[in-house]
Amino acid sequence: MLLKGKQAITFSRRPDPEIWAVLAFGEDDGLASDASASLIRAWTPATGALEVSVFDDDAIKKDPALLFDNLEAVSLLGEPRVIRVRTSGDKIASLLAEAITEGDTEPHRYAARLVIETGSLASRSKLRAAASVAKRTACLQLFTDEAGDIEARVKAALLEVGATIDPFALSAFTGDLPGHRGIANSEIEKLALYARGLGRDLTLGDIRALSATDIDHDLSAAIRATLAGDLVAANTALQRLEIAGTSAISILRALQSETLRMLDAHKRMAAGEGSPGMKLRPPVWQSDWPAFRARLAKWPQKRLLRILERIYEAESQAKSGSGSADPVVRILMNELSSAAARVA
């Protein structure tokens, strides 16, 4: 059963009790992680007792029986169980597809529920195909948040700590949030912590004081320097990200987000909008517009579309490679920086 967008999110919060397995996937792996967390909360009984076992590609590939043994095992205390699998979508796709199919044809085969979370999946993916056709499995395709969805999440997080935020501050905060759901969640949690017990509306001054995490700052700096052709600054920022343990996929996601924002800017300017910075997501503030405009001049639409192709190639290589993905991303960033530097 395939569910997309808002239907998928609604299901993750109120799952059908007849569904025993769920595959959650999307361009942003943070979305799948959030959906899995929602499902686990929904499956947790009123007693609060739920046994969750977490596995990744390497653990299951090393011992394929691990997946099936855990799905079949019954809790000694009689508590419900969930097997949570985080996968790239390729390495153990056949095993996961087999589990989904068997759980569909033999309803009483497994004692535990199964939730699988991953990033993007092609329509021809064996795992996606198995989850889509199975009657007792939900296949959740998740899409990037729209502005209204992000604002609602921020308000909900603040409401939990008894805080509120004024409209200008909310717009500034959501506009500056990074595209990756996991990093954005961290920023929202930090805002809620700051707002707890504040006793007044959060203001634009509060948002500017909080700004962004050091990692997000370095991530933005790496992308800006790369697209501006500043190889030294780009490599310095990349080195800080590597030290901080930032994943190569997160860097590619940030580069993709900025490329799409630049494409949007070109489209708006071609339609007659002179300086559409504040209409972009995230917005480009007036003080940052000259530098952003200079990068646009180096990267016309055709070249930006080529960047998107290169990102897809780099991501495929990063996910399929047996070694570190960091060299793949560094090579791409260096090539883009050199290309930008050659443009006067």
Do 228 and 186 belong together in one domain?
Answer: no
Do 18 and 100 belong together in one domain?
Answer: yes
Average pLDDT over residues 28-44: 87
Do 6 and 138 belong together in one domain?
Answer: yes
Alpha-carbon distance of 51 to 67, in angstroms, equals 15
Average pLDDT over residues 276-303: 88
Average pLDDT over residues 221-232: 92
Do 86 and 186 belong together in one domain?
Answer: no
User: Of 136-140, 143-147, 209-213, 239-243, which range is least confident?
Assistant: 209-213
Do 73 and 162 belong together in one domain?
Answer: no
Which residues does 235 contact at the CB level (< 8 Å), separation at least 6? 330, 333, 334
Which of 142, 157, 183 is a domain's end point?
A: 142
Do 130 and 204 belong together in one domain?
Answer: no
Do 228 and 323 belong together in one domain?
Answer: yes
Which of 92, 121, 142 is a domain's end point?
A: 142
Query: Which pLDDT band, with edges at 50, 70 and 90, does 320 fall under?
Result: low
Helices (H) and strands (E) in the chain, counts: 16, 6
Which tens digit of pLDDT belongs to each residue from 15-24? 998 999 999 9
User: Of 87-91, 283-287, 319-323, which range is least confident?
Assistant: 319-323
Do 241 and 283 belong together in one domain?
Answer: yes
User: Of 104-113, 134-143, 170-179, 207-216, which range is least confident?
Assistant: 207-216
Do 115 and 203 belong together in one domain?
Answer: no
Which tens digit of pLDDT belongs to each residue from 144-188? 766 677 888 889 889 988 989 988 888 878 876 666 677 777 788
CA 278 distance to own-chain centroid: 24
CATH code at position 31: 3.40.50.300
CATH code at position 313: 1.20.272.10
Query: Which pLDDT band, with edges at 50, 70 and 90, does 309 fall under?
Result: very high
Q: What does the buried/exposed string (b/e) look like for 188-220 if buried means 16 or more CB atoms within 10 Å of the residue's CB?
A: beebbebbeebeeebebebbeebebeebbebbb
Greater confidence, 28 or 204?
Answer: 204
- Average pLDDT of the chain, as a whole number: 85
What single-letter amino acid sits at 274?
G
Q: What predicted TM-score, i.e. pTM, was given to this entire model? A: 0.54
Greater confidence, 73 or 215?
Answer: 73
Do 92 and 44 belong together in one domain?
Answer: yes
Q: Which domain holds residue 116?
A: 2-142
What pLDDT does 323 receive? 44
Alpha-carbon distance of 163 to 26, in angstroms, equals 31
What pLDDT does 108 receive? 84
Q: How far is CA 217 from CA 180, 229, 241, in A?
A: 14, 18, 10
**Total domain count, the chain:** 3
Greater confidence, 287 or 139?
Answer: 139
Q: Ramachandran region of residue 48, left (φ > 0), alpha (ψ -120 to 50) or beta?
A: left
Query: Which pLDDT band, with edges at 50, 70 and 90, does 334 fall under?
Result: very high
Do 15 and 135 belong together in one domain?
Answer: yes
What pLDDT does 147 receive? 66
Do 28 and 133 belong together in one domain?
Answer: yes
E strand or H helix at 135, and its extent?
none
Torsions phi, psi of 165, nearest 5? -140, 140
Which tens digit of pLDDT belongs to each residue from 185-222? 778 888 888 888 888 988 888 887 775 445 566 788 89
Which of 184, 210, 236 is a domain's end point?
A: 210
CA 241 distance to own-chain centroid: 17
